[in-house]
Structure 1
Amino acid sequence: MASEAILKYLVDTNRPYSCADVTVNLRGAYTKTVVQKNLDALAESGKIKCKLYGKQKVYAAIQLDNQEAENDVEDYDALFKTLTETLAEKSNGLKAAETTLKTLTSAPTTTSAKSQIAEARTRIESLEAKLGTLRNSTEVLSADEKATIMNAHDTMLREYRKRKRICSDILEAILEGYPKTKKTLLDELCIETDEMVDFKLMSN
């Protein structure tokens, strides 16, 4: 009978199979419909076990040591859970260690830091000496030198105002079709106005 043949096959192989697997492995001795009907009947009678994985049914024979096998499976499940948690913990620890290592390797060494500090102090001393010289200087600019400097300043001032006006005109043209505020546009373009940074021109 089909039922006996299917049961013997599951017991002998001692592996879980779907209905399609059993049908193929019995080399077409029975149709898939017959195999499915007998598998369900064997499962209902308690001779085999049936488990549902998604939409697929999987069948397996109930061996004499089935209880031990079930306990063994439960032990493996617990072990798998423990190992998974341990792996996650170790992975997090590794990430933290890598971050710390990256921070340490990017920081200057003690020797390098001392060298940078010495260079900074030397530069500060040089600038302070230069500043002291300028403060105590009694040299007076000639009229020609002063005129040259003032003319250059005026030229730069006119060019600055010209470019600022052009920039303002462009922004106003953009704002005519821009759906947001002027501040939002400036933020998106990373533009800072004189007013935003409290910049004031020194007049002559």
Structure 2
Amino acid sequence: MANEAVLKYLTDTNRPYSCADVTVNLRGAFTKSAIQKALDYLSENGKIKCKLYGKQKVYAIVQTDVVVEGDNDIDDYDNLVKTLTQSIADKSNSLKTAEANLKQLTAAPTTDSAKVQIQDIKNKLQKLQNKLDTLRSSSEIVSTEEKKIILSEHDKFLREYRRRKRISSEMLDAVLEGYPKSKKNLLEELCLETDEMADFKLVAS
């Protein structure tokens, strides 16, 4: 039963704990509600002591070998409160960091979407590059206005390519923070190629 298990745990450890601590440390053997009922029962029957710190109830086994009741466990209670306070602060900071990372990853495109976008940009850039090479080698005269339009389109795609490449790099870096292997292994698993791997050379206008 929960009563015996809780009493044995508090006796064996001989340290003060909250209901949540006991529930976790008993590794799910009983529900938190059952643990709380057991603690209340044991406290009401004088088997354990209950002290209230703010809204936090802390329980400890009754010490039978103390001269002045409560004197020897004050430090333990104070240390527990400090530990719990620090634990809450650490978990709050971890939660904020996790939420920030989640927001960043959610805003970034998915891997499949990024692959499609990068390939689309590469294809468009290659077509523009081919057209530009043809125009440069052609003996036909291109008007100044047409040249401006071509160069403007080239610059537009160039900027877009660089922007999406930066987004893809940031997304890849974010994944690598929790990836146990190297960047090369990750690229191979995702079937991705960098510009260098594909021997893609960008020509600026």
Which has the higher relative contact order, 1 or 2, with Cα contacts under 8 A spaced 6 or more apart? 2
Q: TM-score range by the shorter chain?
A: 0.3 to 0.5
What is the TM-score with the length of structure 1 in the denominator?
0.34
Greater Cα radius of gyration, structure 1 or 2:
1
